Amino acid sequence: MRRLKAALALAGALAGCVASAPAMAWGSNGHRAVGAIADQLIQGSSAQRHVAALLQPGESLETISLWADCAKVNPPAGCGTPTLEMVAYVAANPGHAGYHYADVPFELAHYHDHDIGTRADDVVQVLKQAIAVLQGRADDASNPHHFTPRQALLLVAHLVGDIHQPLHMGGAYVAKAGGFAVPESREQIKDGLVFDTRGAQDLLVSDAVLGESTSANHGLHSFWDFVLVEDVLRRSGAASPQQFAQMAIAMAPVVDANTGDAASWPYQWADEALMAAKPAFDGVVPGAMAQQADDKGKMRNVWPLTLPDNYRAASADVAQEQMIRAGYHLAALLKAIWP
């Protein structure tokens, strides 16, 4: 995996709620940290002025980074009552919950359109469309969901964070005979020869790994969304996402630049996330399939996991790197759109 050149130095300098289903990549604090990094990096730029023109009073990239999750039919706790703007967006985008992720087998190196785990409205495609809108392209081919420029910015501020969460891109599939497997076709999944673990949410993390956390359904996906984010913020000593952003930027991490048309950058981010997903599953062993009731009482297949002894600390390093990378990429994207 290509890492930030200053990752180890940054980890050293900064050192000092588990959900039952995938809901919010990086949790609220993680998304806010991504937005806060971008807010600070675009200060005084043309991008800041264009962003401000699309925001309402009191909004920032940090605060709007939660909008796309809060707009869901069943929003995460803390979102409050959906606004009329959110209600209209949901009505016009009935499949919006799927905009946040793809499920490309984590073993693969690249995201390719139409391959296993991709969809016409997955996170790569919707980001590409939202970026095109901000670039001024509003034709049906570029903007099939008819996003407004403000909606496009609201989505970009959130989905750039999502696509950098390794388990929002790298999916895990378990063979009927056991062990991880790369499906050769969608028919194998349909026929029950290979099982989709819903972005690793059906892979269960033990209480021993969670420590003080307790939950009846602690999937690996939620472990990355919430537990690791809180680990990153706790070990940094930051009292808020804004403070974490300030500390991260002060270390001047070197983040690889994206190339080509900004609308193609989601493909590059997807490949980077797939690289980050590999250590997320390194040494992870799924046990025998069992069944467990979800929060609606529906039975689902689950697999208890055996994790390496250092999994939590090593994964927090990857999560920290990806959160910082997301903030820098969000800022670079907005500056590329509005130079």
Token pair for 36: 């806060």
With CA atoms as reference, report the closest residue to 100 among 70, 122, 75. Answer: 122
Q: Please report the pLDDT score of residue 138 as a whole number.
A: 86
Asked if pLDDT for residue 79 goes beyond 90, the answer is: yes
Q: Characterize the bridge pairing of strands 173-175 and 194-196.
A: antiparallel
Strand partners, 1: none
Which domains can be identified in the chain, with CATH numbers?
7-337 (1.10.575.10)
In the predicted model, what is the mean pLDDT of the chain?
91
Strand partners, 292: 300
Token pair for 185: 């076709």
- The proportion of the chain whose per-residue pLDDT surpasses 70, expressed as a percent, equals 91
Q: Please report the pLDDT score of residue 259 as a whole number.
A: 96
Asked if pLDDT for residue 12 goes beyond 60, the answer is: no
Between the CA atoms of 227, 269, 167 and 153, what dihedral angle is there, to the nearest 10 degrees?
70
